[in-house]
Amino acid sequence: ADVGNFSFTLSHSSNALISNDMICGATNWGTVTAAGASSLNQNNQCATEECGEPSVSGNCNDVTAIGYDKTLWYRFTTNAARGTYTITVANNGSPADIIAPSLTVYRQNSTVCPASTPNFSNLTLVKQNLNLAASNNAQSVSLNCWEAEPNKTYYVQIDGNDLNETGNNFNV
């Protein structure tokens, strides 16, 4: 039969907003010393990409687009001593939680977030690790002493490779 009585239900479960989804809400690690800094139990599952954000698909208004990026942002300031800074993204999901993290580091040339709308043109790309292989291991990028200027602010953009991941849980 093509007619009859039925019930229809629609439900919604909300996810918490991710504060470091947008660059102006970047997790601030402060001035990094030998003790380092970390952000544990990160998840980019409901993250978005900002219009104008560098190193993304450019589909900022279409979350269903193939290649839509789910980026999270972190920032730190180098200390006065020259040295090497290593940023590592480690999978912290189950062994089946595969992530192919892409790490991009930018130096801030002048204020990026003077207001609620970021000025991405005030960033200079320093280094990328555009990981193409999904893994449940860690991925790193190192800024050598000639790449990380003393007393400068750097932004770290983390995303997964859209073609090669099933997980979203990681530590930075």
Q: Report how far apart the first and last C-alpha atoms of the chain are (Å, whole number).
A: 56
Is residue 67 classed as helix, strand or coil in its secondary structure? coil
CA distances from 95 to 57, 61, 92, 113 (A): 28, 33, 9, 38
Assign 111 a pLDDT band (cuts: 50, 70, 90): very high
* Residue the block writes with tokens 């800024």: 143
pTM confidence score:
0.84
pLDDT score of 57: 77
**Tokens matching residue 34:** 């030998």
pLDDT in tens, 6-56: 778 787 777 677 888 999 999 999 999 888 888 878 878 788 889 899 988
pLDDT in tens, 130-169: 765 666 667 778 888 888 999 999 999 988 765 544 555 5
